[in-house]
Amino acid sequence: MSLSRDALLMRLASAQTRAPAAWRLLEIRVTEHDGTLAYRLNREKLRKARRREGRYLLRTNLTETDPVKLWSYYLQLVAVEDAFRTLKGDLAIRPIFHQDQQRIEAHIFIAFLAYCLHVTLGQKLKALASGLTTRRALEKFAAAQMVDVHIPTTDGRELWLTRYTQPEPELKLLLQRLKLTLPTQPPPRITAAQAADASPL
């Protein structure tokens, strides 16, 4: 297939955007007069890239010389940052609309308990379905909803049926893997006032 020089340059720009790491290893030249493409692999850059593969560079102001300790500190930092990100994002600890100190503390405490459950679910998922994140699992759980169905009767009363929607096959499989069972559907109910109104005088 023959391409004009401008079309070829556009294709090359697209390839550079899609694969910047591979692009850095190539030397590419397009001639001015006829748009001929010439390229070659820069083997020296490739050797340097391969020498860096599998390595992680940490820059720190700590004077600790043991790399194992520095790496463990870094992992702890990542875990703390992830905890704050989860509290701010998934668990929406803020904004806090309370004015009373005890209510503010209760709000933060509930958010912390939710975070503990979040971490526990993540650990269970890691053992059972390593590719599934806690956020994605909660999205699947959110698809199941609890609804109140109000059914009027012929004598003027109203039955309340609290029901949850049946889980989709994907959620059902997840529940099985986590060894969780949904509670039985609750029985219908009627208010005491309605029952009194219906009782004979």
Residues 61-119: pLDDT tens digits?
877 778 788 888 888 888 888 887 777 777 777 777 778 889 888 888 888 888 888 88
- In angstroms, rounded to a whole number, what is the distance separating the alpha carbons of residues 111 and 116? 9
Indicate if 136 and 159 belong to the same structural domain: no
Residue 58 has pLDDT above 80, yes or no: no
Indicate if 72 and 128 belong to the same structural domain: yes
- In angstroms, rounded to a whole number, what is the distance separating the alpha carbons of residues 111 and 91? 7
Whether residue 128 is contained in a domain is answered as yes
Residue 1 has pLDDT above 70, yes or no: no
Is the separation of the CB atoms in 29 and 5 below 8 Å? no
pTM check: above 0.85: no
User: Alpha helix (H) ranges present in the chain?
Assistant: 5-18, 20-23, 43-52, 67-88, 101-128, 134-142, 169-178, 192-198
What's the structural domain count of the chain? 3
Indicate if 150 and 170 belong to the same structural domain: yes
Helices (H) and strands (E) in the chain, counts: 8, 4
The most distant pair of C-alpha atoms in the chain lies apart, rounded to whole Å, by: 106
Domain carrying residue 95: 67-140
- In angstroms, rounded to a whole number, what is the distance separating the alpha carbons of residues 28 and 25? 10
Whether residue 62 is contained in a domain is answered as no
Indicate if 120 and 173 belong to the same structural domain: no
Q: 141-191: per-residue pLDDT in tens?
A: 888 888 888 888 887 788 888 888 888 888 888 888 888 888 888 777 766
